[in-house]
Amino acid sequence: MAEDWDNLLILDACRYDYFERLNTIDGTLYKASSKGKKSWDFMRENFAVGAFHDTVYVTANPFSTDLDEDTFYHIDHLHADRWDEDIGTVQPDDVVSAAIEAHEQFPNKRLIVHFMQPHRPYLGETADELRRRLDLQGYGRHDEGIQIWGAVKQRDVTFQEIRDAYTESLEIALDHVEELLEKVSGKSVVTADHGEMLGERVFPFTSRVWGHMEGFSTPTLREVPWLVIEADDRREIRSSDPIESERDLDDDEIADRLEALGYAD
């Protein structure tokens, strides 16, 4: 929060190496070290340490409900009213539209925009094929199916399919990030809350590690992109008393959202 930006765009579970390979957005790319290997760790260490009443947080990540409501000037919990029941996530185009609305409504605030992608459930052709082939838990209302990591561990899904699905989901997210950057003024940074393990082995263990919830803290989980997009036109940022953020979901519904995203493994 102490860094110089007007817009901070967060990709959820985005690895530095995949971002470096796939990104086509003009800017200066650095490798940063995240303070968390999962979303709540990231939020707790970056956001829960102070009050940022010059900032609006537009987020698709349900862990935002664990933050005090006066942490930011305003929090727009997109998982409350823009949740895609068919896929089990918030689509990136809905994040973009909400962010543009927030930028227009609060032109003198810094803006944090937290996309849920490339975090599973993945988007794209490969992910659609996996959903057609398997009953994947967490996708839509599939409560009894198998988790994606369980499917790959029992070889119902190949390593390449997982990595293709992750790649396509990141490409889709980056397209929407680029669209948003064209609509907001000021200096922007594109980053991630943490990375993702995609079957790498962690020495000295012999089993492969998937996701970011297995207790490991690895460079792959901690290394995130920090892409700086400079701007001549900077916003005049002002701090003011926070306004109430709507939270239309109860705790059980929030738990369901988190489970759909794989946080109940």
- Cβ atoms < 10 Å from Cβ of 28: 9
pLDDT by residue (tens digit) across 84-125?
Answer: 988 889 999 999 999 999 999 999 999 999 999 999 999 999
Distance between CA atoms of 214 and 193, rounded to whole angstroms? 17
Distance between CA atoms of 2 and 74, rounded to whole angstroms? 18
pLDDT by residue (tens digit) across 192-215?
Answer: 999 999 988 887 776 788 777 666
Verdict on whether the full-model pTM lies above 0.85: yes
φ, ψ for residue 229 (rounded to 5)? -115, 105
pLDDT, mean over the chain: 89
Q: Which amino acid is at 78?
A: L
